[in-house]
Amino acid sequence: MHEPLTAAEYKAIAAGLQFPTNAFVDGTFRPANAGKTFKTTNPATGELLAEIAACDAGDVDHAVAKAKQAFDDGRWRQRTPGERKEVLLTFAKLLEENRHELAVMESLDSGKPVRECQTVDVPDTIHTIRWHAELVDKLYDNTNSVGPNALAMVVREPIGVVACVLPWNFPLLMLAWKIAPALAAGCSVIVKPAQETTLTTLRVAELAHEAGIPAGVFNVVTGSGRDVGEPLGLHMDVDMVAFTGSTPTGRRFLHYSADSNLKKVVLECGGKNPAVVLEDAEDLDLVAEQVVSGAFWNMGENCSASSRLIVHASIKDELLKRIGAYLREWKTGDPLDPENRIGALVSKSHFEKVSSFLDDVKSEKLSLAFGGETQSGVFIEPTVVDGVTPASRLFKEEIFGPILSVTTFNSLSEAVALANDTNYGLTASVYTGSLRNAIRVSRDIRAGLVTVNCFGEGDASTPFGGYKESGFGGRDKSIFAHDNYCELKTIWIDVSERAVDEAIR
Ligand SMILES: NC(=O)C1=CN([C@@H]2O[C@H](COP(=O)(O)OP(=O)(O)OC[C@H]3O[C@@H](n4cnc5c(N)ncnc54)[C@H](O)[C@@H]3O)[C@@H](O)[C@H]2O)C=CC1
Ligand code: BAL
């Protein structure tokens, strides 16, 4: 069902698309109060796609009031879990029916290859919504054993109004990682998409409404971080912020919370993730394939990108040779051509940032093993830089582009030390033929997800999020994500004889 179409079919869909342009609040599209707009363009071509409502603090106040009203009157949270499940499954079905449109819109707005949008982003988005829908009527609350004189119940309740502040690198999927558990739990949401990639979020909101999610429960406020993200972070009636993006912006949300109502903050931030290849790795072809996909999937615009290859010195040359062979399959160019696996970076300014790391290759006299070429001011070919030391910016900073650094080691302890030599701790991969080494290294690396002999992000049932400066406050995906969007309430009922006697009197 999610097989890619041909380039001609994708272009025909693109030609017929209607782009949503207004914020979505209380079940209807509405322009910004102040009437302002911002432009959204196709990064691959520079073509203007749409002018979108540039909302501000007044629009945020309106959306929060509507979301709070919807939460307070119980139009969603007081439906049974089974009823919410059915609506969310209808929502998933509508997404499925519109999958080609969503894949093309995502690709046009972000520069991502349509092939990935069609085969990964859209199906994973739908699966995430289905998974949380299916979870919600299978959870049990607790009664605790507190003796014969009382009954203690511990129940989950939806946390309230949730602001979901999203990044541009996986617009649909990050939307699903936040809204699926939030809506399943019974919360009202206000989504603030990244300005670069607003279109699919608006279309999804429309489909959610069509599926039967009541007005005011799913709202989208479009605009900049300063004008929309900050007022949401500071709002006294927002109960929680669920954020994915950079660590510096994540840090701001902790300040906003401290300066307002101590709202709960869950952050999924950056990464500088190692792929550690031990001397006893068994199948170097498989390692090369996985390392390439870990580093270059989504142009490396991925918080879980394995951007540091840490390889035993004795096998480095052989591994690089095989990486070179796999890179031939990673063609760069028109995102709407399903033959291409590397599309455009999300914007000119992001291209400039990523390109500055290519300048370091020259200034630090590092060795370019593959790539290094740019095209049309927005495309960067997959690039592998050899001989990178921990002192280099390439080793330390999140690049968020298709650049892989290579560093060697000679002992297991050196490998672990290099892997942990970062302020981040999101993901890591270990390649080894030894079960003992796999377990030891996975336990010693300080990261929220360690994959062994593969690259990946787990599935909907496994939590995703980071140690150290990669995350804060909770995890995306899985039952643990569901619990992010709930408060726990204890209800203690006195059933002692004294209480019964008093009740009779
Ligand atoms: N962990 C991840 O998945 C992501 C990491 N990044 C990293 O961040 C770098 C910068 O990208 P940006 O788009 O600038 O990320 P960002 O973290 O600034 O943006 C993420 C979201 O936060 C909002 N935002 C920005 N400034 C805000 C503020 N002062 N108050 C409230 N909300 C605010 C944005 O509008 C967007 O919706 C990238 O080069 C990359 O290294 C970017 C996107 C996703
Ligand atoms: N790769 C999923 C999370 C992120 O990049 O933001």
Residues in the chain: 505
Both 131 and 216 in one domain: the answer is yes
Distance, in Å, from the CA atom of 254 to the CA atom of 128, rounded to the nearest integer, reads: 27
Helical packing angle, 199-211 and 171-185, nearest 10° = 30
Both 220 and 351 in one domain: the answer is no
Both 230 and 317 in one domain: the answer is no
Q: What is the ipTM of this complex?
A: 0.96
Is residue 268 part of the annotated active site? The answer reads: yes
Both 254 and 299 in one domain: the answer is no
Is residue 76, in this structure, part of any structural domain at all? Answer: yes
* pLDDT for the residue numbered 2: 78
* pLDDT for the residue numbered 286: 98
How far is the CA of 436 from the CAs of 54, 415, 439, in angstroms?
Answer: 55, 15, 5
Neighbour tally for 95: CB within 10 Å:
23
Query: Residue 243: is its pLDDT beyond 90?
Result: yes
What are the tens digits of pLDDT across the range 197-240? Answer: 999 999 999 999 999 999 999 999 999 999 999 999 999 999 99
What are the tens digits of pLDDT across the range 39-71? Answer: 999 999 999 999 999 999 999 999 999 999 999
Q: Give how far the C-alpha of residue 154 lies from the chain's centroid of Cα atoms, to the nearest Å.
A: 31
Ligand nearest the Cα of residue 456 is 2
Ligand 2 pocket, residues with Cβ under 6 angstroms: 167, 169-170, 174, 244, 302-304, 457
Beta partners for 385?
368, 405
* pLDDT for the residue numbered 3: 86
Q: Which residues contact 390 (CB under 8 A, 6 or more apart)?
A: 396, 407, 418, 421
Both 213 and 293 in one domain: the answer is no
Distance, in Å, from the CA atom of 155 to the CA atom of 483, rounded to the nearest integer, reads: 11
Instruction: Confirm or reject: Cβ of 249 under 6 Å from ligand 1.
Output: yes
The CA 165 to ligand 1 mean position distance, Å, reads 9
Helical packing angle, 99-110 and 199-211, nearest 10° = 160
Task: Kindly report the CATH number assigned to the domain that includes residue 396.
Answer: 3.40.309.10
Q: Which residues contact 294 (CB under 8 A, 6 or more apart)?
A: 273, 275, 304, 305, 306, 429, 455
The CA 304 to ligand 2 mean position distance, Å, reads 6
Query: Residue 393: is its pLDDT beyond 80?
Result: yes
* pLDDT for the residue numbered 504: 75
Q: Would you say the C-alpha torsion 142, 143, 145, 146 has a positive or negative sign?
A: positive
Catalytic residue among 106, 268, 457, 469: 268
Both 333 and 420 in one domain: the answer is yes
* pLDDT for the residue numbered 312: 98
Query: Residue 1: is its pLDDT beyond 80?
Result: no
Give mean pLDDT, residues 347-364. 97
* pLDDT for the residue numbered 359: 96
Both 247 and 297 in one domain: the answer is no
What are the tens digits of pLDDT across the range 451-491? Answer: 999 999 999 999 999 999 999 999 999 999 999 999 999 99
Is residue 504, in this structure, part of any structural domain at all? Answer: no
* pLDDT for the residue numbered 218: 98
Is residue 329, in this structure, part of any structural domain at all? Answer: yes
Is residue 496, in this structure, part of any structural domain at all? Answer: no
Task: Kindly report the CATH number assigned to the domain that includes residue 482.
Answer: 3.40.605.10
Query: Residue 37: is its pLDDT beyond 90?
Result: yes
Query: Residue 499: is its pLDDT beyond 80?
Result: no
Instruction: Confirm or reject: Cβ of 434 under 6 Å from ligand 1.
Output: no
**Contact criterion met (CB below 8 Å) for 162 and 485:** yes
Provide, rounded to the nearest whole percent, the portion of the chain with pLDDT above 70.
100
**Contact criterion met (CB below 8 Å) for 52 and 198:** yes
What are the tens digits of pLDDT across the range 265-308? Answer: 999 999 999 999 999 999 999 999 999 999 999 999 999 999 99
End-to-end CA distance of the chain, in Å?
67
Distance, in Å, from the CA atom of 376 to the CA atom of 367, rounded to the nearest integer, reads: 24
Evaluate if pTM is beyond 0.90. Answer: yes
Is residue 503, in this structure, part of any structural domain at all? Answer: no
Q: Which residues contact 418 (CB under 8 A, 6 or more apart)?
A: 274, 276, 308, 310, 390, 407, 409
For ligand 2, atom 3: residue with the closest CA: 303
Question: Could you list the residue range(s) of the whole structural domain that residue 420 is in?
Answer: 274-452
* pLDDT for the residue numbered 502: 77
Both 238 and 308 in one domain: the answer is no
Domain total of the chain: 2
* pLDDT for the residue numbered 498: 83
Both 246 and 332 in one domain: the answer is no
* pLDDT for the residue numbered 172: 98
Give mean pLDDT, residues 161-166. 99
Both 321 and 432 in one domain: the answer is yes
Last residue of a domain, one of 404, 426, 452: 452
Both 35 and 92 in one domain: the answer is yes
Q: Which residues contact 66 (CB under 8 A, 6 or more apart)?
A: 25, 26, 215, 216, 219
Provide, rounded to the nearest whole percent, the portion of the chain with pLDDT above 90.
97
Distance, in Å, from the CA atom of 481 to the CA atom of 316, rounded to the nearest integer, reads: 39
Give mean pLDDT, residues 436-459. 98
Query: What is the pLDDT of the chain when averaged over all its residues?
Result: 97
Is residue 74, in this structure, part of any structural domain at all? Answer: yes
Is residue 460, in this structure, part of any structural domain at all? Answer: no
Whole-angstrom Cα Rg for the chain: 24
For residue 292, give both structure tokens: 């390439």
Both 256 and 346 in one domain: the answer is no
